[in-house]
Structure 1
Amino acid sequence: MSDSEPDADMAVLVGKAAGGDAAAWDEIVRRYSGRVWAVCRVHRLSPADAADVFQQTWLRVLENLDSLRDPAKFGAWIGTTCRNEALAAIRRARRAQPVDTAWLLDRPGDPDDDPELPFLVADRDAELWQAFRQLSRRCRDVLRVLVVEAEGGRPSYELAAGALGMPIGSLGPTRGRCLGQLRRFLTEGIQAAGGGS
């Protein structure tokens, strides 16, 4: 798979949806609804507010779809749109709270409760898997057996050699080359994303 295929696919979908293609719009909603719900969840919205934010987010996206300059960044854009809608819902809820519970809003939060953390982790994981799919089949197999599916984080080189049909002595060097290639794909992807919008 080339670097540009996922971006080109998203650009085509966005272009079609902006032109009124219902099937393209449905595909975009299918791909990104989970992310929108995830942002709603991390903001701990009530079920009613989460449903409102979900609908409002998709409405904002539909209204502004034709102004999206870089369809490759659609995931980040919809995440930001949903986050803004969630924060607006939280502000509205705070204004409606009785005065005697206002002290709850001023309590310091736990740094691990950062509402953006799960979203950032999801984006990082998506970038990692996108880079992983660019590797050769052999590298994907080696990394899957030695890294992804290793029991307790410790790979069994004997089992891996048998499963992959490779000599034990070549597993370590092959793993190192494949991780280097994965690192390069990730770096190139980050540089490309930072290069322009």
Structure 2
Amino acid sequence: MVEPTEVADAVRAAAAGDRAAWDALVAGFGRLVWSIAAAHRLGPADSAEVSQTTWLRLVENLDRISQPERLGGWLATTARRESLRLLRLRGREVLTEDESRLEPDLDTPTPESVAVDRDRDHRLWRAFAALPENCRVLLRMVVVVAPPYAEVAAALDMPIGSIGPTRARCLERLRRLLAADGMTSAAGGA
């Protein structure tokens, strides 16, 4: 297939299901695709992957090629893009003989645990915002700042003896709000 009209005819026939036309395209352009992968200094296995993916892309787009007579350019562009994609992927790989590096880092949170923690925190703060203001102020002071009860009593103008029971009532309200939102102690709630 040297003539553009021959190439265009073969593309149209292959798109219509002609196996011989498909084989002619692979035979006519197979070396081109392979040489582009090799030009990117890919090894035999990676070159084979680029070649296979390039032909797969052609199968997926065979009936949409607007200029079938220019199939060589289309294949060259696709092979180049697939080669670069594979190089990017391989660039992210870290080769090592130290097998301990292959074990998961248990100190690094997984995306799933981050999402669960964010959801839990969002629901907790939403419930906290629904508490009366006196509870929010007391809990922020006692839990976050944690000064001695004498300072809390002075700052909130309340007897020292009522700080503990008020704190307990506020926490119970928070627990009820969280339970109403479906959060329980076992699910990471308060």
| TM-score interval (norm. to shorter) | 0.3 to 0.5
Larger Rg belongs to = 2
Q: TM-score, normalised by structure 2?
A: 0.48
Which structure would you say has the larger RCO, counting Cα contacts within 8 Å and 6 or more residues apart? 1
Q: TM-score, normalised by structure 1?
A: 0.46
